[in-house]
A and B are shown apart, each in its own frame.
Chain A
Amino acid sequence: MAVAQTAKRKKKRDWYRLGFIALFLLPALAILGTFMFYPIKETFRLSFMRSSGFGEEIYVGWRNYQRIFASPEFRQGFVNVFKWAFWSVAIQIPLAFFIAFTCVNFRTRIIGRLRGVYYLSNVLPSAITAMLGVFIFSPTSGVIKTFAKTTGWKWLESIDWLGNPKLAFWSLFALATWAYIGFGIIYLMANIEQIPTEIREAALIDGATQWQYAWRVVIPYVSYAIRVQAILATVGSIKLFDLPYMVTLGGPRNATVTLGITLYREAFLNWQYGRGAAIGVVIFLICLVITIFQFSFVNDHSATDHSI
């Protein structure tokens, strides 16, 4: 009898517990469901429709996907975001590491102040960054143009930074490197600072040069943080929209177009919601694959995980 009563009480307690958990989860689930899961589901549905946002939607099967993959603009956007991702990892992360390492290991008053300068670009809204970019590259009153005129360097004056399809990508990438590197520097600095002083001292007493210390001690120590940076840079590149759109509108001749820009053009300028949704699905799937990769790759942080 007593056993049965205890079991009954336990069952009741479990129900209370479950109810309690549900109560706490409900608001989060409701918000996620309304603003995330439902829109994602709708985007998938819409990607199989022909829709201008008004009136009836016509089921077109895989046609939107066929159209976007056949579009040179989309293909260029696809190439551009992966190119952007590759160079972000190849250039921005080593540069961020170099600056972070210098800031931590060569503490002077100037370097202390430079920390603020490096991070400043990261806190600026992208609209301001874009305006600065246009101001730098402007052919009428830009910083480079003015400098070229002052020095009389005609060759520099005639460079079409944003108008030449071969140069526009790199002009924009340089601007983005300045704009986005601040976070990487601060994040890596925070991780490098976690390295115990004794380790550094031991390495230097053993005769390691700064280069050897950086290569053989610091990089292995912060490798987890570097991997996180690489994942963030890759996902950020896939979703890239604001800076290229505000500076070059994706041009010239789609040299700086991204998947985000093609989505915006299709959905909001061309009124092709179905095709826009199909591009959205492609971006979603790419990000999903990268995220899964992130879980399996970044979470594999055995001995080298010292990051914060």
Chain B
Amino acid sequence: MSRSKLSVLLVMTLASLLILSSVALAKTTLTIWAVDGLELDDPHHYYVQNLVKTFLADNPDIDIDWVAFGSEGAALNNRIRVALAANVGPDIFQSWGGTFMGEFARMGKLLDLTEELSDVPTSEAAKAAMSYDGRLYGIAPFFAIAGLYVNEGIFEELGLEVPTTIAELEAVAEKLVANGIQPFAVGARDEWPILATYMYLVNRYGGTIFDDAVARKVRFDAEPFVQAGLKIQEWSKRGFFGNTPMSEGYGDAQLLMQTGQAAMQISGSWLCGLYADPNQTDQTIGFYAVPVLEGGVGKVTDLAGMTDVGFVATATAADKKDAVVRFLTYAMSVEAAEKEAGRVASIPGVNPPNRLTGMASDVFTQAETIQFWWDQNLPPALTTPVNLTIQSFLMDDTDVKAELARYELLVEDELGSVR
């Protein structure tokens, strides 16, 4: 072989090696928009921090561009709407599922991963929250349920039993008021925190009547909705929510529980990490199912809840489907979830990180029905008004029936009249 031929061969070999190595080194970058951040030293963010760190270590061919929008959620939701409307945006975004996600799915903005994710072990509730019209668009490694947080120290001190019926709950609340302790921390200034209490009361009075109302079989001012509203108003008048419930933000409510100024709170299990952390509170707090109404329709195993941490893939990530599926599957692994500080996992095999989360998990596992948050599961045009309507029940002079009738008009505009 002549020298020139040898040189050509050598150059070609080198070029081929170079191309092959560059192909091998080419990384797929997944852009992920989230509420949780990678930099913050806060237990609430430990799951995503561990997820990204261990995933990148196990998948050297994938890079992650993580953009955090802050824990309020509204910033991410607003940004994602604008981006997806213009067919740009991330490959994956953090989502709580429900109608917000469903609206994107309906418009073809999401990646259908029904086949790819069908074998990923999870709870049926978590799967349902990330589905729309029978198709699966993402995963929900953590699932939040609302329950009754109880300051067990205060209860013990005052000789109170954890209530199992609404009547017992009211008796407990009366005794707490008499002892100068606010029965319920609520945070109604931020509108949505009172929703869980109202959802449970509606369920206890009327069972799954909410589903019937959405299906337009009953009106939103039907008797159970009114009874639940009047009950909240009555509790407010009796001082069960303190003297200034409408000035109290959700942060204030947490502070009241952390400092033992309030004895109970109906809220999501996302607070378990906070209330179980000895650096955050010196109170002993437990998590229980919301009491039932004697003679009512709803059962103790009827829960309210929804995705706590979830991820959804967008249609723009279709050409990165393999990387997307690998990330989402990994996000549902025990290894990824092992650093979580307090949420209730929907990944089989993940042990609760503390007693309080364990109590919430126990309540979750007994669930027969799970009602998704109304403000995540109604059409967007009805979500803010539902929270505002419920918030108004805390005021003494609110005409509950009239407020609900006004809300019904909005519902009729969106979903039609009762058939």
Contacts and interface: CB of A to CB of B under 8 A. Distances in A.
A139 B247 contact: yes
A64 to B, nearest CB: 12
B243 A139 contact: yes
A160 B394 CA distance: 13
7 contacts: A53-B82, A158-B243, A163-B188, A163-B247, A249-B191, A269-B383, A270-B381
B interface secondary structure, majority: helix
A159 B398 CA distance: 19
Interface string B172-206: 00000000000000001111000000000000000
Interface string A208-235: 0000000000000000000000000000
B248 A140 contact: yes
B102 interface: no
B246 A158 contact: no
B247 A160 contact: yes
A162 B255 contact: no
B380 A270 contact: yes
A161 interface: yes
B189 A253 contact: no
Nearest to A67: B413
Nearest to B259: A140
- Top 4 nearest A-B pairs (CB, nearest first) are A163-B246, A163-B247, A139-B244, A271-B380
Given A253-B395, A270-B380, A163 B244 contact: yes
A29 B82 CA distance: 26
Contact of A137 (B191, B247, B261): B247
Interface of A: 52-55, 72, 134, 137-141, 157-165, 248-249, 251-254, 265, 268-272
A205 B394 CA distance: 63
B81 interface: yes
B307 to A, nearest CB: 19
B189 A140 contact: no
B249 A138 contact: yes
A162 B243 contact: no
Contact residue range for chain B? 35 or more
B29 interface: no
A42 to B, nearest CB: 14
B391 interface: yes
Contact of A161 (B82, B242, B247, B385): B247
Contacts of B160: none
A157 B78 CA distance: 38
A163 B245 CA distance: 7
B384 interface: yes
B252 A249 contact: no
A251 B191 contact: yes
Given A134-B249, A139-B242, A139-B243, 11 more contacts: A138-B247, A138-B252, A139-B247, A140-B248, A140-B261, A141-B252, A163-B244, A163-B247, A249-B191, A253-B391, A268-B78
B285 interface: no
B277 interface: no
B380 A269 contact: yes
Contacts of A270: 380-385
Contact of A165 (B82, B383, B384, B395): B395
